[in-house]
Structure 1
Amino acid sequence: MAEAYPWQDGLWQQLAGRAQHAHAYLLHGPVGIGKRALAERLMASLLCLRPGASNACGECKSCLLLKAGSHPDNYVLEPEEADKAIKVDQVRDLVSFVVQTSQMGGRKVVLIEPVESMNINAANALLKSLEEPSGDTVLLLVSHQPSRLLPTIKSRCVQQACPLPSEAMSLQWLAQALPDSSDEERVELLTLAAGSPLAAVSLQAQGVREQRALVVDGVKKLLKQQQSPTQLAEGWNAIPLLLLFDWFCDWSSLILRYQMTEDEAGLGLGDMRKVIQYLAQKSNQDKILNIQDWILAQRQKVLSKANLNRVLLLEALLVQWASLPGRS
């Protein structure tokens, strides 16, 4: 059974307590807050033959089939490869499932994640099933970026924002999930994960603190002219592009904030505070705004899976970053 996260208790009671369910739900929120687990928990409850007050029983034939991954009335739609699009042929297969009669005489439940990974043809192919699903079918759509969805997709679903836990609740949960990490490390991981505790665990598994230390050291050497943009771009080959653009976007925002407020409490994590302060004092605000616009544009290309030359892209970023000090 999917894990039940404490910050979802209120929403779960609301969903599980419904006498009648909508034909389609859009569960949305940031990455790493447990939306998929919530959808799987709801899926199990909807398929269960003897659901309890708040959960699937876990013991009936339906629950056992679902646990074994062989439930005939359950369909999970995901990209065939990580970070790839959901294709129109995959959605057509789903539509064929939706129009079939339930084999166990109850509901059919579909889970799609992430729904924004559908290309335009796939999204259009889903619309009919969303509007008029066959029989007693419930579609659970999970989205990390609902702004990327077609309005016609969103309008056909009950849209449900999933809660981001408080920092205190996240740290309490992380203390159990990452018992070998120090309090300081867990705070740092949660900050890097933008407050999403499951994302913090994933970042820890990726070695993100070591990756960030490498990048921060490289940025400092770049500004001291001890390493070139080309050397750094090649040395960061193992670090995800999206992670790099997220950090540089965050740093440019912190520079702008400090230029406007001179609030030292708003300089971000300790590893870059002196650099942020230095660049804020030495850089022209227009240059910061221009590089931030450029970073956001490139980040969007990365998200849209554009065919990019990684080394040239990072070189362009670092050349601009190295040119920031100086008021000209």
Structure 2
Amino acid sequence: MADLLPWQAHLWTQLSERRQHAHAYLLHGPAGIGKRQLAEHLRARLLCQSPQAGFACGQCKGCLLLAAGTHPDTFTLEPEEADKAIKVDQVRELVDFVVQTAQLGGRKVILLEPAEAMNINAANALLKSLEEPSGDTVLLLISHQPSRLLPTIKSRCVQQACPFPSEVQSLAWLAQNLPALNVDEHRELLELAAGSPLSAQRLQEQGVREARALVVEGVKKLLKQQASASQLAEGWNAVSLILLFDWFSQWAHLLLRYQLSGDEQALGLPDMHKVLQYLGDKSTQAKVLDLQQWLLEQRQKVLNKANLNRVLLLEALLVRWASLPGPG
């Protein structure tokens, strides 16, 4: 189990010192800030037979079984495949677990992540267990996007916002966990991860800085007519589609902000400063707004796992991007 993160210390003190725990917690906040680690520490604390100084002891039978992955009184519910929905049959297994008697005579603890991955039928199947869990059962729901949850799910949980680390805390954590990189590289990763340090670490492991350099170089070649939209679409095959739409959506937003404010210091990462300034000066706000609307619509389709032709979609994106300079 990963260490408790420094920015969680105050919240952990509040949670660990409670004498009476709620039957269901909804731990929510942006992805990459350590909600899963917090939930796992709380699960260990709730299942520990001899907690010490607010933490699980790590030595009792319950702690040893949990560490071995064989504790009979805990249940973890996640999508069967990454980025897929949690299905109703999976929740029914959870419900069957809830009505069982705890085999070690203590609590039963359920960890569910991400809660928003439950489809409608799955969420409805969980409602009764959330409202009236059997025995001493605690459900720990983790959500990166609580706005996507049914109101009936949220109303049955104690909603706990998880702390977002400061830039100082994030940079210190990255310095410890990615010591081979310098502080400027840490800052770049942190900005790419929207300030979430754990996401920044994952991005580094996935080679995102190299992928972004490839994309930025391609965008510059496109505008100089040194590469075609179809060539770039084919060449970006290894780059995550959602990352591409995240970057282009952000660039469109920065373009609009620059056009409205004229602030050259608010153009995001330095790698795109000159490109965005050029496009901001040469494009109309109407064209940028139209592009931004299209990008957001396509991004939502990507998030919803729509059956899209990747190459044709990227070609369409790049044709629209290349047509920004010039009159309306």
Normalising by the smaller structure, the TM-score range is over 0.9
Deviation at 1:327, TM superposition (A): 2.4
Once residues 228 and 17 of structure 2 are traced to their aligned partners in structure 1, the CA distance between those partners, rounded to angstroms, is 59
Look up the SS of the partner of 1:22 in the other structure: coil
Task: Please say if residues 174 and 186 of structure 1, whose CA atoms lie closer than 8 Å, have aligned partners that are also in contact.
Answer: yes
Question: Residue type of the partner of 2:159?
Answer: Q
Q: TM-score, normalised by structure 1?
A: 0.98
Which residue of the partner structure matches residue 59 of structure 1?
A: 59
Which residue of the partner structure matches residue 217 of structure 1?
A: 217
Deviation at 1:2, TM superposition (A): 3.1
Once residues 126 and 304 of structure 2 are traced to their aligned partners in structure 1, the CA distance between those partners, rounded to angstroms, is 20
Once residues 307 and 3 of structure 2 are traced to their aligned partners in structure 1, the CA distance between those partners, rounded to angstroms, is 37
Query: Is the aligned partner of 1:83 residue 2:83?
Result: yes
Q: TM-score, normalised by structure 2?
A: 0.98
Once residues 278 and 313 of structure 2 are traced to their aligned partners in structure 1, the CA distance between those partners, rounded to angstroms, is 25
Q: Deviations over 1:173-200 (max 9, x none)?
A: 1101000011111110011000000001
Once residues 305 and 113 of structure 1 are traced to their aligned partners in structure 2, the CA distance between those partners, rounded to angstroms, is 19
Question: Residue type of the partner of 1:309?
Answer: N
Once residues 299 and 157 of structure 2 are traced to their aligned partners in structure 1, the CA distance between those partners, rounded to angstroms, is 29
Once residues 306 and 139 of structure 1 are traced to their aligned partners in structure 2, the CA distance between those partners, rounded to angstroms, is 32
Look up the SS of the partner of 2:312 in the other structure: helix
Q: Deviations over 1:44-71 (max 9, x none)?
A: 0000001122210000000000000010
Deviation at 1:17, TM superposition (A): 1.2
Look up the SS of the partner of 2:153 in the other structure: helix
Look up the SS of the partner of 2:142 in the other structure: strand
Task: Please say if residues 2 and 38 of structure 1, whose CA atoms lie closer than 8 Å, have aligned partners that are also in contact.
Answer: no
Which residue of the partner structure matches residue 13 of structure 1?
A: 13
Which residue of the partner structure matches residue 306 of structure 2?
A: 306
Look up the SS of the partner of 2:290 in the other structure: helix
Which residue of the partner structure matches residue 244 of structure 1?
A: 244
| Identity, % of aligned positions | 73
Question: Residue type of the partner of 2:235?
Answer: G
Ranges in structure 2 where 5+ consecutive residues have no aligned partner: none
Look up the SS of the partner of 1:57 in the other structure: coil
Which residue of the partner structure matches residue 270 of structure 1?
A: 270
Query: Is the aligned partner of 1:325 residue 2:328?
Result: no
Q: Deviations over 1:258-310 (max 9, x none)?
A: 11111111011110000010111111101111111111111111212222211
Q: How do 1:1-328 and structure 2 match up within 5 A?
A: 1-328=1-328
Once residues 149 and 91 of structure 1 are traced to their aligned partners in structure 2, the CA distance between those partners, rounded to angstroms, is 15
Once residues 152 and 318 of structure 1 are traced to their aligned partners in structure 2, the CA distance between those partners, rounded to angstroms, is 42
Question: Residue type of the partner of 1:314?
Answer: L
Question: Residue type of the partner of 2:128?
Answer: K
Look up the SS of the partner of 1:71 in the other structure: coil
Once residues 136 and 65 of structure 1 are traced to their aligned partners in structure 2, the CA distance between those partners, rounded to angstroms, is 19
List 4+ stretches of structure 1 deviating above 2 A. Answer: none
Once residues 106 and 307 of structure 2 are traced to their aligned partners in structure 1, the CA distance between those partners, rounded to angstroms, is 45
Question: Residue type of the partner of 2:139?
Answer: L
How many residues get paired? 328
Look up the SS of the partner of 2:265 in the other structure: helix
Once residues 313 and 10 of structure 1 are traced to their aligned partners in structure 2, the CA distance between those partners, rounded to angstroms, is 46
Once residues 327 and 6 of structure 2 are traced to their aligned partners in structure 1, the CA distance between those partners, rounded to angstroms, is 50
Deviation at 1:147, TM superposition (A): 1.1
Q: Deviations over 1:141-188 (max 9, x none)?
A: 001111111111111111111111010110011101000011111110
Once residues 83 and 324 of structure 1 are traced to their aligned partners in structure 2, the CA distance between those partners, rounded to angstroms, is 33
Question: Residue type of the partner of 1:53?
Answer: A
Once residues 301 and 59 of structure 2 are traced to their aligned partners in structure 1, the CA distance between those partners, rounded to angstroms, is 46
Once residues 38 and 181 of structure 2 are traced to their aligned partners in structure 1, the CA distance between those partners, rounded to angstroms, is 26
Question: Residue type of the partner of 1:92?
Answer: R
Look up the SS of the partner of 2:65 in the other structure: helix
Q: Deviations over 1:242-263 (max 9, x none)?
A: 1111100110111111111111
Question: Residue type of the partner of 2:34?
Answer: G
Q: Deviations over 1:22-58 (max 9, x none)?
A: 1111111111110000000000000000112221000
Once residues 174 and 109 of structure 2 are traced to their aligned partners in structure 1, the CA distance between those partners, rounded to angstroms, is 32
